[in-house]
């Protein structure tokens, strides 16, 4: 077990090192001068002296090597540099916004899971007929409707027309509902289709036939055997989607003015705030690795064959 | 098989539900006063003595230090004041400084209002103003460039002397820039504390990415604010701001997207407020490009721009035709319109261009084909680019539009011919700063790569002139040279546009983009 965790920790360090290096290179080759952008925020031209002074202040006049070494040092001391915009440490800035993103991602994942299970189960039980056709249509819409469009549609109906829900901001459950649905519903409808297919395939498996022969009830077989086994392949997809949501959903957070990591990063990209962008990429890569590790552990728990190997 | 065990999916689901509920419970209540989202702002206004106003605000400041990058946001909140204010005619007017005098080319004295207190209760005097100005020069590149201060002396408790490094006749107008907001320097020595300024409102709460809340300052030296509290919610998406206004969650929304203005106009509960601005949308010519080195080719493009049609269709009437970098609302913006020159036919024929069988202009077998850059941050510019492209196609000229994410980075390269651009040309009501930075040949901000010795001579003369009339005349002379050489084609001065709930009074859009909330703003 110790070896397993050591291997995973080494893999994580390697991934973070590669991502940190790649991000540094990509940021430096992408167009845009952070000093100039910061000084011309209000479209007022900036003097040459001001641009030069700020470049020096930001350390952009140092050689690329020294900038890279400084960045790596920041990564491994868990500081991730100082934001050009707020002049505060990037790690702290990201952590401040993480609870909002975590809240939205969890709610989005809950909607996704609920939609997957409800639609998947219903369409598997009634695999022919109107319900199945509706499930297919929902999956098609879920895959094709962009989240910004769904978000605005929800705001228009539930805030502007009906006045039931707040259109923006973070607060109680009322604030959470529309962003969570926007985030999770589409993916849930798509995964429901996969769950349905898996469940129908499981129905013809020998262990299901054996359970029927033993006289177990249909509901028991469906929930505790067919569903449980059919759900296994979906787990990794759900894990990946949850990791994406935790990375901050740029569009949903912007539309609903949700003060999370996604909204923050889009502003950092616009301002070419290198330390924030680089810190964010390292942060999300860490999240991905950690969540995949968690999914792997759950897999082992769910599937005894993996435990043995 | 052990069927008594709870299925894993159930456990996972329950975990997520619990996590979500805990997080929702722990979440900030900073904006919980929006309640169900139905007319929450209106409900707050029920009590006349405690009236509040909520604004959906375009920008997302990183902090509230007016001497940093967020000075405009602080000024817009009504919490900050400067020594000088720009009036409706964009002339410098008294604010914290009640009068001023030029002693010699490099020396100015300012007499301060003597009944002003900071939000922490301390009295404002010449010493505190000096400390504040020195801090702004140290922290803000813009303040340093605008003021050109060599030294500041305290002459009397209510009198300051400012000595500049070189003649700087624009200094009085420059003291209206938000980067020079006066604050009690001691108030922000501790991390996390809010600056004590002198405005009708003081900062109550700043929540990153969420809002800035200001409340009435009872010790204000002028007329007290009519509102008890103003909340500026940071909503960067234009459509979200519009829908929050339509839903009644906010009383004011800034920068309504031009293509959605009709929705506000048609809503009986809302109205559009606008004012001409000191912003200019323009087409830049790359003076180093093979095509636009030739003045005749620049003239062809300039003549083809349908300015009136653009204002009518793209700007929905919210803008004025631009004849120069500065709008006509400024005393130095009244330049003579260029007389109609030669036709496209005459200009291009004289330059050796010929029309081919398809009706397109070509020279030595090469078609007249230009690249036009545009960028997403100001969507109306991209629409204008398409209008110009279409107009030039009718003239027999092909324009290829290239959308770029970062316009300034692309302009620094050489592979472009034309570019859509937008600038605030006189944000302190004075032409000096813009002309120096945008047109001096050594400046990196001279994005058209335009070099004109006669223009630089006029700008240098302007820098040394202090009499207002003479300065205005020089600014007009500079614009005449610019219009003659045509390094840019000026299209439109867009209006500042706000959507407001009917019943909001005293919210008067100003041509200067940093005056929003004042003591006069009220809601019924």
Residue B373: beta bridge partners?
B402, B419
The minimal CB distance from A43 to the residues B209, B246, B423 is found for B423
DSSP letter (8 states) at residue A160: I
pLDDT in the model for residue B8:
44
pLDDT in the model for residue B47:
55
């509920």: which residue's tokens? Answer: B21
Shortest Cα distance, chain A CAs vs residue B235, angstroms: 6
B-chain residues near A117 (CB < 8 A):
9, 13
Instruction: Please identify among residues 87-106 of chain A the ones whose CB lies closer than 8 Å to any CB of chain B.
Output: 87, 96-97, 99-100, 102-103, 106
pLDDT in the model for residue B414:
82
How far apart are alpha carbons A211 and B405 in whole angstroms?
60
A99 with B26: Cβ contact below 8 A: yes
Nearest to B221 by CA among B345, B326, B124: B124
Share of chain B above pLDDT 70, in %: 91
Tell which of B6, B18, B62, B378 to mutate to test the A interface (max A CBs under 10 Å): B62
The minimal CB distance from A47 to the residues B12, B243, B437 is found for B437
The minimal CB distance from A163 to the residues B38, B433, B437 is found for B38
Q: HSE-up of B286 (CA within 13 Å, CB side)? A: 19
pLDDT of A5 above 80:
no
CB of A303 within 8 Å of any CB in chain B?
no
pLDDT in the model for residue B257:
86
pLDDT in the model for residue B13:
47
Mean pLDDT lowest among A71-80, B50-59, B288-297: A71-80
pLDDT in the model for residue A309:
57
A-chain residues near B27 (CB < 8 A):
99-100, 103, 170-172
How far apart are alpha carbons B45 and B48 in whole angstroms?
7
pLDDT in the model for residue B299:
94
CB B487 within 8 A of CB B184: no
Contacts of A80-84 with C-beta under 8 Å, sequence gap 24+, read: A80/A275, A80/A278, A80/A279, A80/A282, A80/A283, A81/A274, A81/A275, A81/A278, A81/A279, A82/A275, A83/A268, A83/A273, A83/A275, A83/A276, A83/B62, A84/A34, A84/A38, A84/A58, A84/A271, A84/A272, A84/A273, A84/A274, A84/A275, A84/A276
Shortest Cα distance, chain B CAs vs residue A103, angstroms: 6
Q: B502 falls in which pLDDT band (50, 70, 90)?
A: very high
Shortest Cα distance, chain A CAs vs residue B434, angstroms: 7
A-chain residues near B69 (CB < 8 A):
38, 41, 85
The minimal CB distance from B16 to the residues A100, A106, A174 is found for A106
Torsion of CA B54, B57, B60, B62, to 10 degrees: -50
Q: B304 falls in which pLDDT band (50, 70, 90)?
A: very high
A180, closest residue in chain B (CA to CA): B20
pLDDT of B265 above 60:
yes
pLDDT digits (tens, 9 = 90+) for A173-231: 999 999 999 999 888 888 888 888 888 888 888 888 888 888 888 778 887 788 888 88
Average pLDDT on B28-51 reads: 48
Chain-wide mean pLDDT for chain B? Answer: 88
The minimal CB distance from B235 to the residues A47, A170, A257 is found for A257
The minimal CB distance from B69 to the residues A85, A156, A220 is found for A85
CB B354 within 8 A of CB B363: yes
A-chain residues near B433 (CB < 8 A):
44
pLDDT of B271 above 90:
yes
Q: Which whole-number Å values give the CA distances from A161 to A156, B40, B244, B248, B272, in the listed order? A: 6, 15, 11, 11, 20
Average pLDDT on B46-66 reads: 86
In this structure, what are the phi and psi dihedrals at residue A162, rounded to the nearest 5 degrees? -95, -25
Residues 6+ apart with CB under 8 A from B314: B258, B380, B383, B384, B387
H/E stretch holding B398 reads strand B398-403
How far apart are alpha carbons A57 and B473 in whole angstroms?
39
A44, closest residue in chain B (CA to CA): B424
pLDDT in the model for residue B5:
43
How far apart are alpha carbons A110 and A97 in whole angstroms?
20
CB of A250 within 8 Å of any CB in chain B?
no
pLDDT digits (tens, 9 = 90+) for B488-501: 999 999 999 999 99
CB of A294 within 8 Å of any CB in chain B?
no
pLDDT in the model for residue B2:
40
DSSP letter (8 states) at residue B365: T
pLDDT in the model for residue B150:
95
The minimal CB distance from A106 to the residues B1, B20, B237 is found for B20
Q: Which whole-number Å values give the CA distances from A99 to A94, A192, B28, in the listed order? A: 10, 28, 10
Size of interface A-B (CB pairs under 8 A): 217
How far apart are alpha carbons A187 and A120 in whole angstroms?
12
B243 with A159: Cβ contact below 8 A: yes
B-chain residues near A35 (CB < 8 A):
none
Longest C-alpha distance within chain B, in Å? 98
Q: Which whole-number Å values give the CA distances from B54 to A249, B250, B266, in the listed order? A: 26, 5, 22
pLDDT in the model for residue B48:
57
pLDDT of B16 above 70:
no
**What is chain B's length?**
524
Structure tokens, B111: 């007499």
Chain-wide mean pLDDT for chain A? Answer: 85
CB B326 within 8 A of CB B425: yes
pLDDT of B284 above 60:
yes
A-chain residues near B208 (CB < 8 A):
86, 96-97, 259
B-chain residues near A223 (CB < 8 A):
7
CB of A213 within 8 Å of any CB in chain B?
no
pLDDT in the model for residue B253:
96
């639609």: which residue's tokens? Answer: A119
In this structure, what are the phi and psi dihedrals at residue B389, rounded to the nearest 5 degrees? -60, -45
B-chain residues near A220 (CB < 8 A):
3
pLDDT digits (tens, 9 = 90+) for B305-343: 999 999 999 999 999 999 999 999 998 988 887 777 788
Mean pLDDT lowest among A150-154, A294-298, B89-93, B445-449: A294-298
A301 with B8: Cβ contact below 8 A: yes
Q: A104 falls in which pLDDT band (50, 70, 90)?
A: very high
How far apart are alpha carbons B286 and B188 in whole angstroms?
45
The minimal CB distance from B410 to the residues A31, A87, A102 is found for A31
Structure tokens, B423: 């600038």
pLDDT in the model for residue B32:
37
Angle between helices A173-203 and A130-144 (to 10 degrees): 120
pLDDT of B138 above 90:
yes
How far apart are alpha carbons B288 and B222 in whole angstroms?
54
pLDDT digits (tens, 9 = 90+) for A31-59: 778 888 888 878 888 888 888 888 888 88
CB of A60 within 8 Å of any CB in chain B?
no
The minimal CB distance from A45 to the residues B144, B235, B434 is found for B434
Average pLDDT on A256-284 reads: 88
A163 with B445: Cβ contact below 8 A: no
Nearest to B327 by CA among B363, B277, B258: B277
Report which of residues B242 and B167 the model is more confident about: B242
The minimal CB distance from B445 to the residues A32, A45, A220 is found for A45
Share of chain B above pLDDT 90, in %: 70
CB of A231 within 8 Å of any CB in chain B?
yes
Residues 6+ apart with CB under 8 A from A33: A51, A55, A60, A272, B408, B409, B412
Share of chain A above pLDDT 70, in %: 97
CB B445 within 8 A of CB B407: no
pLDDT in the model for residue B456:
95
Burial bucket for residue B294 (CB in 10 Å: 0-12, 13-18, 19+): middle
A-chain residues near B17 (CB < 8 A):
110
Structure tokens, B45: 């206004």
Structure tokens, A291: 């969540």
DSSP codes joined into one string, B288-315: TSTTTTSHHHHHHHHHH--HHHIIIIIS
Q: Which whole-number Å values give the CA distances from B297 to B4, B293, B303, B346, in the listed order? A: 84, 8, 10, 11
pLDDT in the model for residue A240:
80
B-chain residues near A102 (CB < 8 A):
19, 23
Residues 6+ apart with CB under 8 A from A34: A58, A60, A84, A271, A272, A273, A274
What is the number of H-type helices and E-type strands within chain A? 15, 0
CB A201 within 8 A of CB A230: yes
């Amino acid at each position: 077990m110790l070896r397993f965790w050591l291997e995973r920790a080494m893999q994580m360090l390697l991934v973070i090192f590669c991502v940190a290096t790649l991000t540094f290179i990509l940021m430096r080759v992408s167009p845009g001068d952070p000093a100039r952008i910061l000084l011309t925020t209000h479209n007022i031209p900036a003097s040459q002296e001001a641009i030069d002074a700020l470049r020096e202040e930001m350390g952009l006049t140092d050689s690329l090597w020294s900038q890279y070494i400084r960045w790596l040092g920041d990564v491994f001391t868990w500081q991730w540099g100082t934001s050009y915009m707020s002049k505060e440490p990037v790690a702290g800035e990201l952590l401040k916004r993480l609870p909002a993103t975590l809240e939205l991602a969890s709610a989005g994942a809950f909607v996704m899971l609920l939609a997957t299970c409800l639609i998947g189960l219903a369409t598997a039980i009634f695999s022919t007929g109107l319900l199945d056709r509706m499930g297919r249509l929902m999956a098609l819409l879920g895959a094709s409707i962009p989240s910004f469009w769904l978000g605005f549609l929800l705001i228009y109906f539930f805030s502007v027309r009906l006045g039931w829900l707040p259109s923006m901001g973070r607060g109680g459950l009322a604030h959470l509902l529309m962003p969570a649905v926007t985030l999770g519903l589409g993916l849930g409808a798509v995964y429901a289709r996969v769950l349905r297919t898996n469940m129908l395939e499981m129905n013809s498996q020998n262990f299901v036939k054996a359970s029927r022969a033993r006289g177990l009830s249909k509901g028991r077989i469906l929930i505790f055997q067919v569903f449980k086994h059919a759900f296994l392949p979906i787990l990794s997809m759900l894990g990946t989607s949850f990791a994406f949501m935790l990375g901050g959903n740029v569009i949903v957070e912007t539309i609903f003015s949700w003060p999370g990591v996604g909204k923050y990063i889009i502003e950092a990209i616009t301002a070419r705030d290198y330390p924030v962008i680089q810190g964010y990429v390292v942060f999300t890569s860490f999240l991905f690795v950690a969540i995949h590790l968690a999914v792997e552990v759950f897999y082992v728990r769910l599937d005894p064959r993996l435990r043995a190997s | 098989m052990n069927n008594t065990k709870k299925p894993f999916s159930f456990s996972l689901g329950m975990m997520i539900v619990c996590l979500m509920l805990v997080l929702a419970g722990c979440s900030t209540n900073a904006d919980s006063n929006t309640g169900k989202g139905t007319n929450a702002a209106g409900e707050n206004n029920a009590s006349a003595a405690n009236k509040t106003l909520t604004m959906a605000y375009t920008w997302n400041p990183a902090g509230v230090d007016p001497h940093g990058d967020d000075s405009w946001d602080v000024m817009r909140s009504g919490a900050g004041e400067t020594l000088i204010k720009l009036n409706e005619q964009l002339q410098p007017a008294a604010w914290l400084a009640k009068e001023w005098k030029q002693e010699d080319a490099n020396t100015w004295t300012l007499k301060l209002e003597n009944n002003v207190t900071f939000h922490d209760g301390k009295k404002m005097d010449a010493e505190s103003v000096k400390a504040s100005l020195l801090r702004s020069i140290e922290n803000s590149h813009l303040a340093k460039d605008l003021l050109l201060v060599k030294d500041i002396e305290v002459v009397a408790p209510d009198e300051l002397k400012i000595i500049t490094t070189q003649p700087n006749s624009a200094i009085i107008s420059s003291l209206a820039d938000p980067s020079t907001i006066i604050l009690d320097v001691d108030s922000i020595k501790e991390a996390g504390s809010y600056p004590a300024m002198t405005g009708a409102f003081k900062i109550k709460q700043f929540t990153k990415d969420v809002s800035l809340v200001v409340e009435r300052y009872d010790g204000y030296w002028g007329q007290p604010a009519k509102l008890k509290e103003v909340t500026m919610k940071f909503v960067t998406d234009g459509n979200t701001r519009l829908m929050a206004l339509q839903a009644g969650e906010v009383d004011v929304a800034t920068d309504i997207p031009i293509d959605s203005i009709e929705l506000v106009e048609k809503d009986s509960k809302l109205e559009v407020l606008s004012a001409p601005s000191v912003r200019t949308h323009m087409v830049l010519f790359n003076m180093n490009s093979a095509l636009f080195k030739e003045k005749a080719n620049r003239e062809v493009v300039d003549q083809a721009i349908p300015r009136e049609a653009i204002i009518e269709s793209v700007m929905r009437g919210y803008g004025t035709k631009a004849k120069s970098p500065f709008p006509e609302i400024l005393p130095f913006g009244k330049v003579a319109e260029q007389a109609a020159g030669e036709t496209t036919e005459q200009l291009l024929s004289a330059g050796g261009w010929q029309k081919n069988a398809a009706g397109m202009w070509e020279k030595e077998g090469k078609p007249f084909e230009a690249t036009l850059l545009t960028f997403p941050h100001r969507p109306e510019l991209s629409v204008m680019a398409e209008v110009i492209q279409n107009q030039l196609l009718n003239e027999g000229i092909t324009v290829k539009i290239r959308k770029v994410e970062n316009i300034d980075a692309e302009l620094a390269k050489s592979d472009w011919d034309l570019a859509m651009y937008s600038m605030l040309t006189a944000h302190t009501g004075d032409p000096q700063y813009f002309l120096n930075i945008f047109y001096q040949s050594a400046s990196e901000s001279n994005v058209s790569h335009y070099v004109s010795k006669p223009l630089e001579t006029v700008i240098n003369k302007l820098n040394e002139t202090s009499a207002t009339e003479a300065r205005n005349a020089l600014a007009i002379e500079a614009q005449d040279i610019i219009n003659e050489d045509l390094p840019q084609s000026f299209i439109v001065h867009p209006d500042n546009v706000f959507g407001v709930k009917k019943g909001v009074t005293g919210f008067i859009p100003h041509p200067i983009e940093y005056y929003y909330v004042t003591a006069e703003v009220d809601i019924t």
